[in-house]
Chains A and B, each alone.
Chain A
Amino acid sequence: MAGVDQLDQIFFEGVADGQLRVQQCSDCGAHQFYPRVVCKHCGSEQLKWISASGRGRVASFSVVRRGVSAEFEAPYIVALITLEEGVTMMSHLVDVEPEQVASGMAVRVAFRPVGGADIRPVFLRAEVS
């Protein structure tokens, strides 16, 4: 993939293995996403990778009715997902009707091709027990 450095590559290798990897700081314990060479909370360079639970909640979402390009067939749902680990990432909500989506909805990760291109983390509606 263009523009992917070695650090990003660790994330995408995780995706290939069905893992949602985020960084955790060994000094302050905070998680962060996207990958960085320093902890954005404390400045430490002692960062390790963990495999996130893949569970989270919808922080906000939009049903895109006019797609960005021919590769993205509308409607599709762009969402911000806050993971249990406390980090937020952009993704798609899939296998769910737009009318069923609400902020706060519990979701879990899956790995699917996005926009007719590479496999990326997307999110499904989670059954909450």
Chain B
Amino acid sequence: MDLSNVAIVGSFETDLGVVTDRGPMALGVQATLGAIADAGLQASAIDGLITCNSLVTPVMYHAEATAEYAGLTPGHCLSVGTGGGTTYTALRYAAAAIQTGLATTVVVSMADSMRSFMTRDRAMAVQSSSGHPLFEQPYGPTVPAYYALIARAHMDTYGTTEAQFAEAMVSSRAWAHLNPTAQYRERVTVDDVLASKPIADPLKLLDCSIVSDGGAAVVLTTLERARDLPHAPIVLKGYGEGHHYEHISQAKDLTKSAAADSGKAALAGAGIEPADIQLAQLYDCFSPALLIQLEDLGFCEKGTGGEFLASGATRPGGNLPVNTHGGMLSHCHPGNPGAIFGLTEAIRQYRGEAKERQLAHLEHTLLHAQGGIMSSHATVVLGRAN
């Protein structure tokens, strides 16, 4: 389906990192209202609100509660259960609502506060609950351990090394160093990553994403309406999803994910090839996730993700800038909403507001997010409106 008659017209990020004065709902409302203002719209123009529930303070009717708090009375409210891939799934459903006439202007808003409003033990328990309740969780797998199973399989199959996985954080910090809003900005070396605390072999602390507080929101409307609004519209050029399994023990292949399906569909929708992408905002919850996405999305051959990362291609000055904000490894990972900052950074890049991180030429951006343990995948291709 042609998606290019839907445009992203507003974007807002709250304070990010360690935010102790506001909880998840307050951050979500701040993001929502901030994005509406950024779009140059009145609150009354919003007739759809899609939010992601909070892991820290889940509520039964999250979008409705967000609307109430913000003083909005949208005609349509939808809460999605989790983040990860659903961040971009929500974007697609917002576009579908606009294309079918269900709504005209929709906000997608997400925030959470895993860092400051949840204990470390509780955060571990909540995150590992993605495992099968009877046949996985009783064995005490942590989320890093799930991804470690994937990392080990990739090492066994393709000879990928721990030093190559470490390159994910090296690249992330090289970008985060240039981003004042990133939670961790200090550059690291491969040796720093290899020497960091063992978490779940072969993964160390610096193979893992950070824990943060923060939120962000975007506003979508028809391209026709977008022409009258302050920012140059950014359009959805392609979208795809892929779902091969939910629980890691049910995966047919630990080293190849349904990102191959979602990426293929999104690129086909946009009518382009991986080589036509100037910016890739990928889901770097753990280093092996990033490495496998680079392969499955077609940026390098299967099995060569380690070499690709080590080549420096994803870093500042490289051929394929990845996560120019610093990603979830360094910038912000509040829980479910981690992927939305990949989108808000892309919008900043399109607007030419990324300062030291600004890319000289940007036509097509690929956004990818996944949920579960490399389980459910969603890919978006963004472009400029003609």
Q: Does A64 contact B (CB under 8 A)?
A: yes
- In contact, A62 and B138 (Cβ under 8 angstroms): no
Closest chain B residue to A102, Cβ basis: B156
Q: Does A103 contact B (CB under 8 A)?
A: yes
Give Cα A76 to B145, complex, Å.
11
Given A66-B199, A89-B135: A80 in contact with B249 (beta carbons within 8 A) = yes
A53 to chain B, nearest CB (A): 19
- In contact, B156 and A120 (Cβ under 8 angstroms): no
A104 to chain B, nearest CB (A): 8
**From B125, B152, B198, residue with most partner A Cβ within 10 Å:** B152
- In contact, A61 and B149 (Cβ under 8 angstroms): yes
Within 8 Å CB of A92, what residues of B? 139
Given A69-B125, A80-B249, A90-B248: A60 in contact with B153 (beta carbons within 8 A) = yes
Q: Does A59 contact B (CB under 8 A)?
A: yes
Given A69-B121, A88-B249, A90-B135: A63 in contact with B140 (beta carbons within 8 A) = no
Which single member of A3, A66, A90, A91 contacts B200 (CB below 8 Å)?
Answer: A66
Give Cα A79 to B149, complex, Å.
7
Q: How many residues of B contact A (CB 8 A)?
A: 35
Give Cα A63 to B139, complex, Å.
12
Q: Which of B132-174 contact A (CB under 8 A)?
A: 132-136, 138-142, 144-145, 148-150, 152-153, 156
- In contact, A60 and B150 (Cβ under 8 angstroms): yes
Given A62-B145, A78-B149: A115 in contact with B139 (beta carbons within 8 A) = yes
Q: Which of A48-107 contact B (CB under 8 A)?
A: 59-69, 71-72, 76, 78-80, 88-92, 98, 103-104
Q: How many residues of A contact B (CB 8 A)?
A: 36
Give Cα A1 to B140, complex, Å.
16
**From B125, B144, B197, B202, residue with most partner A Cβ within 10 Å:** B144
Give Cα A3 to B148, complex, Å.
27
Closest chain B residue to A66, Cβ basis: B199
Closest chain A residue to B131, Cβ basis: A90
B10 to chain A, nearest CB (A): 40
Q: Does A42 contact B (CB under 8 A)?
A: no
Q: Does A128 contact B (CB under 8 A)?
A: no
Within 8 Å CB of B132, what residues of A? 34, 90
**From A64, A71, A90, A98, residue with most partner B Cβ within 10 Å:** A90
Give Cα A4 to B132, complex, Å.
12
Give Cα A97 to B254, complex, Å.
24
Q: Does A114 contact B (CB under 8 A)?
A: yes
**From A68, A104, A118, residue with most partner B Cβ within 10 Å:** A68
Q: Does B124 contact A (CB under 8 A)?
A: yes
Within 8 Å CB of B121, what residues of A? 69
- In contact, B200 and A115 (Cβ under 8 angstroms): no
Binding site for B on A (CB under 8 A): 1, 3-4, 8, 33-34, 59-69, 71-72, 76, 78-80, 88-92, 98, 103-104, 114-115, 117-118, 120
User: Shortest 5 CB-CB distances between A and B: which pairs?
Assistant: A62-B148, A72-B140, A65-B198, A63-B201, A60-B149
| 6 A-B contact pairs sorted by A residue (CB < 8 Å) | A59-B153, A61-B152, A62-B141, A62-B149, A62-B203, A79-B149
Binding site for A on B (CB under 8 A): 121, 124-125, 128, 131-136, 138-142, 144-145, 148-150, 152-153, 156, 197-203, 248-251, 254
